[in-house]
Amino acid sequence: MVRFTHRISKKAGLPPGTLIHVGDKKTEKARLRLMDYTQEHFEERDLAAIEESFSYREKDSVTWINVDGIHQVDMVEKIGRHYDLHPLVLEDILNTNQRPKMEDYENYLFLILKMITYGEAQKLLYIEQVSIIVGRGFVLSFQESEGDVFESVRERLRKGKGRIRKGGPDYLAYALMDAVVDNYFLVLEKIGEDIEELEGEVISKPVPETAESIHNLKRELLFLRKSVWPLREAVVSLEKGESPLVQERTTVYLRDVYDHTIQVVDTIETFRDMVSGMLDIYLSSLSNRMNEVMKVLTIIATLFIPLTFVAGIYGMNFKYMPELEWRYGYGLVWVVMVVIGLLMLLYFRKKKWL
């Protein structure tokens, strides 16, 4: 559960806007990467200190500053001051428990997304918070650690492929969102494979671990849904938000992201239904196995208990037991017992137990 509520306790009771990092410290030192571009020009550099980026603000170009590692609170604060960000925005960037959302602060838009990867071995989701600020001529993105899904966007910027260098900061923000959402499909695909595998297992050879796997899958889908569901709303409010920061021609792309988000949410719901169904099948196959075990027991016991009783009868030591003296007594007893046994077998056959 710690995964749900990242020790928010250390924040409780502090005034709003107090900047404290809430989350795992995922990177040793924060890494700053700057990309500055117009349609013709392109520059890319790693920054040693955030101050190096400030000069780019005056330019006409689009500047994208990507921060890997938000645990360096002072740096985030400096950026905040330079770009005039509201204290609550900075607080939200640092607190990795946020839900995905979009907020319009007139001079800039503030977006929170969740970047998700699926550890196939442990079958666990890893969720990283990505905050994006879209302003006039600049985009800031904050991540918890290095390693992201934005490499393809960077590549397109470098090569100037497609619309990306022609679009403004809004298009860049769209491209980042699109990369995040596209990645959800990868996660879903892997989960889908796990479900398929589990489905085979639940029917052919259910073991107690199957229930555990189902439960884990269910929980991870809960997590996933919690991380993706609010994104729908965020994208809609971006598309319909009528902020001058979002150009008319970008909205068609946002609609596309929206479609993808819906598709992701849809698939999550379908997966959840399927996983729930699997638990039912698991339980029913437990009952079936119990039935089978019971049948074996019942057949054996029902067959031999009466026979043992008969044998017990003639094991008694009464002085006067005429049958014991009969010449064919023993043979007769065998006949009786075989008949009883056959009747039992007939009965079981009638019951469809054999």
Q: What is the Cα 116 distance to its own chain's centre?
A: 8
Among the residues of the chain, which ranges form H helices?
2-5, 73-82, 87-94, 151-159, 169-204, 208-239, 248-313, 322-325, 329-350
At closest approach, how far in Å is the CB of 222 from its own copies?
5
At closest approach, how far in Å is the CB of 54 from its own copies?
26
Q: Which is nearer to its own copies, 60 or 322 (CB)?
A: 322
Q: With binding defined as CB under 8 A, does residue 154 bind its own copies? A: no
Binder among 28, 52, 120, 212 for its own copies (CB under 8 A): 212
DSSP letter assigned to residue 14: S
Q: With binding defined as CB under 8 A, does residue 146 bind its own copies? A: no
Q: With binding defined as CB under 8 A, does residue 1 bind its own copies? A: yes
Q: Which is nearer to its own copies, 52 or 212 (CB)?
A: 212
Spatial CB neighbours of 31, under 8 Å, sequence gap ≥ 6: 46, 67, 68, 69, 146
For tokens 């500055």, name the residue.
36
Spatial CB neighbours of 42, under 8 Å, sequence gap ≥ 6: 35, 36, 157, 158, 160, 165
Chain residues 250-289 in contact with its own copies, contact rule CB under 8 A: 252-253, 255-256, 259, 262-263, 266-267, 270-271, 273-274, 277-289
Spatial CB neighbours of 270, under 8 Å, sequence gap ≥ 6: none
Q: Which is nearer to its own copies, 68 or 91 (CB)?
A: 91
State how far the Cα of 306 lies from the Cα of 304, in Å rounded to an integer: 6
Q: Which is nearer to its own copies, 30 or 239 (CB)?
A: 239
Chain residues 36-95 in contact with its own copies, contact rule CB under 8 A: 86, 88, 92
Q: With binding defined as CB under 8 A, does residue 309 bind its own copies? A: yes
Chain residues 2-21 in contact with its own copies, contact rule CB under 8 A: 2, 4-5, 7-9, 11-18
What track of x and - describes contact with its own copies for positions 92 through 131 (by CB under 8 A)?
Answer: x----xxx-x-x----------------------------
State how far the Cα of 353 lies from the Cα of 288, in Å rounded to an integer: 13
Binder among 32, 35, 149, 172 for its own copies (CB under 8 A): 149
Q: Which is nearer to its own copies, 119 or 162 (CB)?
A: 162
For the chain, how big is the Rg over CA atoms in Å? Answer: 34
